[in-house]
Amino acid sequence: MSVEYRLAPEHPLPAAYDDSWAGLQWVANHSDGQGPEAWINDHADLSRIILAGESAGANLAHYVAVQAGLTPLPGVHITRLLIVHPYFGNEQLDKFYKYLSPTSSGSSDDPKLNPEADPNLVKLKGDRVLVCVAERDFLKSRGDAYYETMKKCGWGGEVEYYESKDEEHCFHFFNPKSENIAPLIKRMGLWGVLITSKISPTCLFWLNSHPILELYGMVAKGESKMNLLRPMGEELTLLDDQRREWEDKISQLNAQISDYEARERELPLVQEVDANVKELHQTIAGLNNHQLSLRASFRKLKEKTGEMDEEISKAEFDLVQSVQENASLRSKIVQSPDKLQVNSAKSIEKDYKTLKAKLSDDGVLDKSLDAKLVERQAKAQQLDELRKILEKEGNVKSERLQKNLIMLSWRWNQRGVIWKQGKGVESVVSEVDAITSKTNLVKESGAAKVQELVHKCEEVVEQFQQYKNSMELLLQ
């Protein structure tokens, strides 16, 4: 029979001790053949009970044997106690056991952890005790101490000892292919655990190990193995770091390869953009040359305008002098008509000839001014036609540049051309816009100057016409 006792830490100790003792009491209820389990009533001989346990179960089996000595169970006789790789304490504080049993000190003064400290040890129920240990078990020293304690404590039974060479804790479970399992089973069989009788079969009361204690044992064993494996682990860590480093380098190389492939895919577009940029540069150079030509023409027109301004100023000055002389002559005529009659005919004739010559000179000047006015009007018309032609060419080229820029912008947004080249195109566009604005300013300035010249010519013609009319009235 095996007891499924409650496990710590969900159920802290001594729950497992209480359940184990309750299990044996339940078995004892079958001593009169009227127990709840028919199989035990029919087949078990409760006068030949063997208590057995391994690891933590060995600790529990020892506790139940002591309790059976303190509290006799009618109809039950424990003949043997089998202790396999027992879990007991030593002189040091057992923090793990204290965690499982918060009410325990975890030290050698706890009788459950240290049988030597138990004053009721001599009352342990049973005739024979077999202590089994493993040579490489981390708990072997505790099994040895238990064996020595049972021999010298004054208990009246027989104590035996068996050691499995070159094996670890509970190896018969963790290493089922071990060659040392068969000798261990044979030793327990000779001792009586597996001996059965048709007349009086043995009742085996087995207490298994606590899973957490087994895990603790595995951890303890693992520490020694980890000490051996630590250099290999460090080497593996170093290799893993090198692997990550190489993976990072490979990722960088893959990124560079992807970048190069992307550049190769974008190369036709870049070449097309370069060609468009060169074409724009040529167009801009042509516009610059045309702008220089316009500036040269504008300078020449400005110089001619200056010359015409000087001639007009001179004509105005002569006109003013003629008006003054005419005014002086009229005043003389108005002030002294009698004197004029008295004057000799020669004086009048002389003045008449002078006036006629003056009028003749004015007529010549009038014709010269008319010719210059016609020339100015022709030049103004020529400038206006040139302005219209320039505006038309500028509009056509601006539309063409705008279309090219729109196409370039669309392609730029679709393909994501390199940022530096994009900066170059933007600078070209800004330069084109600056040139266009300068061209517009030149056009506006030329148009304003032409309008000014036309207005000034009209004023000169109007003044000359007034002067001409006044002279005709005077001569009449």
| Domain membership flag for residue 226 | no
Q: Specify the 3-state DSSP secondary structure of 52.
A: strand
Residues 196 and 280 in one domain: no
pLDDT of residue 194: 44
Query: Which of 145-149, 173-177, 196-200, 321-325 is modeled with the greatest confidence?
Result: 145-149
**How confident is the model over 15-40, as a mean pLDDT?**
91
Among the listed residues 137, 210, 362, 366, the single catalytic one is: 137
pTM comes to 0.46
Structural domain count of the chain: 2
Whether residue 55 lies in the annotated active site: yes
Q: Which of 161, 189, 209 is the last residue of a domain?
A: 209
How much of the chain exceeds pLDDT 90, in percent? 19
- Backbone φ, ψ for residue 452 (5° rounding): -65, -45
**How confident is the model over 431-448, as a mean pLDDT?**
66
Q: Where are the alpha helices (DSSP H) in 336-344?
A: 337-342
Whether residue 77 lies in the annotated active site: no
| Domain membership flag for residue 224 | no
For residue 163, the domain's CATH number is 3.40.50.1820
The mean pLDDT of the chain is: 76
pLDDT of residue 323: 66
**How confident is the model over 157-174, as a mean pLDDT?**
90
Residues 205 and 295 in one domain: no
| 109 alpha carbon, distance to own chain's centre | 60
pLDDT of residue 302: 76
Among the listed residues 20, 30, 31, 55, the single catalytic one is: 55
| Higher pLDDT pick, 382 / 430 | 382
**How confident is the model over 145-152, as a mean pLDDT?**
93
| Domain membership flag for residue 242 | no
**How confident is the model over 150-179, as a mean pLDDT?**
90
Residues 48 and 184 in one domain: yes
Among positive and negative, which fits the CA dihedral 394, 396, 400, 403? Answer: positive
**How confident is the model over 5-9, as a mean pLDDT?**
87
Whether residue 351 lies in the annotated active site: no
In the structure, what pLDDT confidence band is assigned to residue 84 with cuts at 50, 70 and 90?
A: very high
Lowest mean pLDDT among 30-44, 93-107, 173-187, 366-380: 366-380
Among the listed residues 62, 169, 172, 210, the single catalytic one is: 169
pLDDT at 159 over 70: yes
Enclosing domain of residue 93: 15-209
Residues 305 and 397 in one domain: yes
DSSP H or E run through 89: none
pLDDT of residue 212: 47
Length of the chain: 476
In the structure, what pLDDT confidence band is assigned to residue 344 with cuts at 50, 70 and 90?
A: very low
| Domain membership flag for residue 227 | no
pLDDT at 359 over 70: no
Burial class, 476, CB count within 10 angstroms (exposed 0-12 / middle 13-18 / buried 19+): exposed
pLDDT tens across 422-434, in order?
Answer: 455 456 556 656 6
